């Protein structure tokens, strides 16, 4: 550890200690002059769902009930239906899936799991394909960040935040345990059992344990076109074998503070089918993953003015990549990577008045990487994030502002190390409600985001470049939102329209040099777009309802790096100008029927927008039908799904064909 790091840590600890002492003194003084009453026990089974229309920043939410009703298969299926989102999907049940919000890149999308960030310092982007939907209560996507300022500093550090909230156990009829079992099966050899057990350990403590297993051969057919020759082929080496388990502990302490803890483990082995190569359908790339993390959170409300929460997390991830090919010296290439992360966060919330809130959050993380690649410098990164946020509400106005300081130090055992990096980035959001009796809101957002290069960007073989500058993204958004009731038949209508402009400077891209490709700061991207979302509920009878929802995105994301380049002002790769989605859900006493559609216009696989690089647009249609039965002390739900029932063949990533028509059957028992 260098001297800069020592001085930096000492200074920050000293400053934090001073602030903590001041806060504690203030809290103690207030507590000392206030009578304390012991509150009766309160059990919270689920978090409050965010109100999309009132949000000052664009927010999209899908509940666990929506996930079940609409028959979504995995987290990527949910996220694909969010406006302004691009999911890079390499096909199949086990295919890798990453998320980019409004064309800013997957590196600018933060993923939060039960309030704590999920990270990958090596690659800088998260594969959301490994998250199960079985125990998910809510999935939300916020552009910028959610309205609440009482959150870790890391949630202020991304251009978009994908948040996954799991279910808390609910006990009925004074029972002290619950059991949920689910089994799914379907096309391409898919078998997916799930089991959840929850129990009240004490009156104040609840424990839940989840287990999920997934197996599929992934061998699905597709059509291969080679000039005038059209053949029916099969996708091989697309199998997956994975399992995931997690345990959650929820405790309400006697002083009304809350303690939560989670232990999570995921393991998988999957085939990587690779891009389609004419006359060679077999690929021998394999990927093994292991991920374990343990996290604990604590929240304490001292009085009406002061609230504190903190969290600790340890994360371990390991993966092995193997490729068998004659181009390697020994006929195969094996890469192993191992990462350790130590993370802590503390956030204090001060509310001197009902309409004014101030928060201070400090996050410290240490990331280490080891791999077996030649010339690996075995880097360690120290990151300190500090965020000061203010929220003010007055009648028709809600104003939120925050200032985030990012400071990173990289330490390496060999080779060059990059300079220390520090940057202040602001964000401001404003929501206006001109008429008190109307749910009509105008919202505005500005945010600056600082993205530090990943370990791969800096150190990967000869491609890495320790002289890289961080990316800087700027977001501007203006929108209108409204919801209300029209008639008894139309009790609910919601409409949101947002226009935006984003700019990415010093974009990190791989460019060829004299002998090898090299990571460089050569990119600048301008992004303009419009997102529209509509939701309508029709009530034909008290027990018969039709829910209609849809979204449309127009997005022009162009490369403005160099006016002399052939791709100057061309649409950036894998970003359609037009995309959209829709859903119909008919709820009846005897059955629940749902239909969903998702589509995208033409895209380009490479920076130059020429015909050879064009990928055709597509629309995928799916349907599901389900019914729930009440059988004495348990409930049984049966669901059947038909995915891509028009058998449309399309690519999200060029030469990675997606599955055609498939089915899935599932049964869920709740005891």
Average pLDDT, the chain: 88
CA-closest candidate to residue 420, choices 412, 428, 408: 408
Residue 11's pLDDT is what? 42
pTM reported for the whole predicted model: 0.90
CA distance 78 to 298: 30
8 A C-beta contact, residue 45 and residue 121:
no
Q: What are the pLDDT digits (tens) for 234-262?
A: 888 889 999 999 999 999 998 889 999 99
Per the model's pLDDT, the better-predicted residue between 182 and 173 turns out to be: 182
Residue 515's pLDDT is what? 58
User: Between β-strands 109-113 and 160-166, what pairing exists: parallel, antiparallel or unpaired?
Assistant: parallel
Per the model's pLDDT, the better-predicted residue between 172 and 466 turns out to be: 466
SS3 64: helix
Cα 451 from chain centroid? 17
Residue 147's pLDDT is what? 85
Q: Is the pLDDT of residue 434 over 60?
A: yes
CA distance 416 to 397: 51
279's CB contacts (< 8 A; 6+ apart) are none
147's CB contacts (< 8 A; 6+ apart) are 50, 54, 55, 56, 57, 59, 391, 398, 400, 429
8 A C-beta contact, residue 485 and residue 491:
yes
Cα 627 from chain centroid? 30
Residue 10 burial (CB count, 10 A): 10
Cα 548 from chain centroid? 25
**Among 267-276, 592-601, 609-618, the least confident range:** 267-276
Q: What are the pLDDT digits (tens) for 38-76?
A: 333 334 433 444 568 889 999 999 999 899 888 888 898
SS3 26: helix
Cα 556 from chain centroid? 23
CA distance 576 to 574: 6
Q: What are the pLDDT digits (tens) for 537-567?
A: 999 988 899 999 999 999 999 999 999 999 9
Q: What are the pLDDT digits (tens) for 333-351?
A: 999 999 999 999 999 999 9
Q: What are the pLDDT digits (tens) for 600-626?
A: 999 999 999 999 999 999 999 999 999
Residue 610's pLDDT is what? 95
Residue 462's pLDDT is what? 75
Residue 297: pLDDT band with limits 50, 70, 90: very high
Distances (CA, A) of 271 to 22, 284, 287: 55, 8, 6
Q: Is the pLDDT of residue 8 over 50?
A: no
Residue 513: pLDDT band with limits 50, 70, 90: low
Q: Is the pLDDT of residue 667 over 90?
A: yes
User: In the Cβ-directed half-sphere of 668, how many Cα atoms lie within 13 Å?
Assistant: 14
Residue 1's pLDDT is what? 47
SS3 67: helix
8 A C-beta contact, residue 90 and residue 96:
yes
Rg (CA), the chain: 25
Q: Give CA torsion, residues 651, 653, 655, 660, to 10 deg.
A: -30
In angstroms, the first-to-last Cα distance of the chain is 54
10: enclosing H helix or E strand: helix 3-32
Q: Is the pLDDT of residue 136 over 60?
A: yes
Residue 545's pLDDT is what? 95
Mean pLDDT of all residues in 227-233: 84
Cα 234 from chain centroid? 31
Q: For residue 545, list its beta bridge partners.
A: 539, 587
**Sheet bearing 160-166, strands edge to edge:** 59-63, 136-143, 160-166, 109-113, 116-118
Residue 72's pLDDT is what? 86
CA distance 363 to 381: 14
8 A C-beta contact, residue 137 and residue 165:
yes
CA distance 206 to 396: 41
Residue 46's pLDDT is what? 39
Residue 17: pLDDT band with limits 50, 70, 90: very low
Q: Is the pLDDT of residue 3 over 80?
A: no
**Among 8-17, 173-182, 348-357, the least confident range:** 8-17
Residue 224: pLDDT band with limits 50, 70, 90: confident
The DSSP code for 156 is G
Q: What are the pLDDT digits (tens) for 97-106?
A: 889 999 999 9
Residue 85: pLDDT band with limits 50, 70, 90: very high
CA-closest candidate to residue 421, choices 157, 98, 119, 100: 157
Residue 514's pLDDT is what? 57
* Domain positions in the chain: 1-37, 38-593+602-630+642-670
Residue 173's pLDDT is what? 76
CA-closest candidate to residue 622, choices 43, 77, 220: 77
Residue 570's pLDDT is what? 96
CATH superfamily of 38-593+602-630+642-670: TonB-dependent receptor, beta-barrel domain (2.40.170.20)
CA-closest candidate to residue 189, choices 667, 662, 671: 662
Residue 15's pLDDT is what? 43
The DSSP code for 198 is E
Residue 280's pLDDT is what? 72
The DSSP code for 48 is P
The DSSP code for 68 is H
Q: For residue 266, list its beta bridge partners.
A: 244, 291
CA distance 474 to 492: 35
179's CB contacts (< 8 A; 6+ apart) are 195, 196, 197, 198, 669, 670, 671
């Amino acid at each position: 550890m260098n001297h800069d790091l020592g001085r930096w840590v000492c200074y920050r600890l000293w400053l934090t200690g001073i602030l903590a002492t001041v806060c504690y003194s203030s809290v103690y003084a207030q507590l000392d002059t206030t009578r304390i009453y012991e509150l009766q026990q309160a059990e919270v089974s689920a978090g409050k769902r965010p109100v999309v229309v009132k949000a000052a920043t664009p927010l999209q939410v899908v509940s666990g009930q929506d996930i079940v009703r609409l028959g979504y298969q995995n987290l990527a299926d949910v996220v694909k239906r969010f406006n302004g989102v691009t999911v890079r999907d390499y096909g199949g049940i086990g295919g890798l899936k990453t998320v980019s919000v409004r064309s800013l890149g997957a590196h600018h999308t933060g993923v939060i799991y039960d309030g704590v960030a999920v990270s990958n310092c090596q690659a800088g982007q998260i594969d959301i394909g490994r998250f199960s939907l079985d125990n998910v209560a809510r999935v939300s996507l916020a552009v910028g960040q959610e309205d609440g300022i009482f959150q870790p500093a890391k949630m202020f550090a991304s251009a978009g935040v994908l948040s996954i909230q799991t279910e808390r156990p609910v006990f009925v009829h004074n029972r002290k345990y619950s059991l949920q079992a689910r089994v799914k099966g379907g096309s391409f050899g898919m078998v997916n059992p799930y089991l959840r057990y929850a129990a009240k350990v004490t009156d104040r403590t609840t424990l839940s344990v989840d287990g999920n297993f997934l197996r599929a051969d992934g061998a699905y057919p597709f059509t291969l076109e080679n000039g005038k020759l059209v053949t029916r082929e099969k996708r091989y080496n697309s199998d997956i074998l994975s399992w995931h388990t997690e345990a959650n502990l929820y405790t309400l302490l006697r002083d009304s503070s809350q303690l939560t803890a989670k232990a999570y483990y995921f393991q998988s082995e999957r085939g990587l089918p690779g891009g389609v190569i004419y006359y060679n359908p077999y690929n021998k790339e394999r990927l093994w993953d292991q991920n374990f993390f343990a996290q604990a959170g604590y929240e304490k409300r001292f009085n009406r003015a002061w609230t504190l929460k903190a969290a600790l997390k340890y994360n371990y991830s390991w993966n092995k990549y193997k490729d068998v090919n004659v181009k390697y010296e020994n006929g195969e290439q094996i890469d192993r990577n191992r990462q350790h992360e130590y993370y802590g966060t503390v956030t204090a919330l001060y509310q001197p008045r009902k309409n004014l809130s101030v928060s201070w959050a400090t996050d410290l993380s240490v990331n280490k990487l080891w791999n077996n690649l030649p010339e690996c410098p075995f880097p360690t990164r120290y990151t300190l994030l500090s965020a000061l946020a203010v929220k003010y509400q007055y009648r028709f106005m809600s104003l939120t502002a925050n200032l985030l300081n990012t400071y990173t130090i990289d330490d390496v055992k060999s080779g060059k190390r990059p300079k220390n990096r520090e940057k202040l980035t602001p964000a401001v959001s404003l929501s206006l409600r001109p008429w008190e009796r109307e749910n009509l809101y105008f919202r505005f957002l500005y945010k600056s985001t600082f993205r530090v290069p990943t370990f791969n960007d800096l150190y990967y073989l000869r491609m890495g470049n320790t002289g890289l500058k961080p990316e800087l993204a700027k977001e501007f958004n203006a929108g209108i939102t409204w919801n209300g009731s029209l008639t008894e038949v139309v009790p609910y209508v919601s409409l949101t329209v947002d226009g935006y402009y984003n700019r990415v400077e010093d974009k990190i891209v791989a460019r060829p040099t004299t002998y090898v490709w090299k990571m460089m700061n050569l990119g600048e991207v301008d992004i303009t777009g419009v997102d529209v979302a509509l939701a309508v509920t029709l009530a034909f009878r008290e027990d018969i309802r039709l829910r209609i929802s849809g979204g449309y995105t127009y997005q022009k994301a162009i490369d403005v790096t160099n006016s002399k380049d052939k791709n100057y002002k061309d649409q950036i790769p894998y970003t359609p100008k037009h995309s959209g989605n829709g859903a119909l859900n008919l709820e009846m006493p005897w059955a629940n029927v749902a239909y969903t559609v998702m589509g995208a216009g033409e895209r380009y696989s490479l920076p130059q927008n020429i015909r050879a690089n064009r990928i055709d647009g597509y629309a995928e249609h799916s349907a599901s039908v389900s019914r729930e039965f009440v059988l004495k002390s348990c409930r049984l739900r049966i669901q059947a799904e038909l995915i891509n029932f028009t058998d449309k063949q399309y690519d999200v990533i060029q030469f990675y064909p997606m599955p055609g028509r498939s089915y899935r059957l599932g049964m869920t028992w709740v005891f």
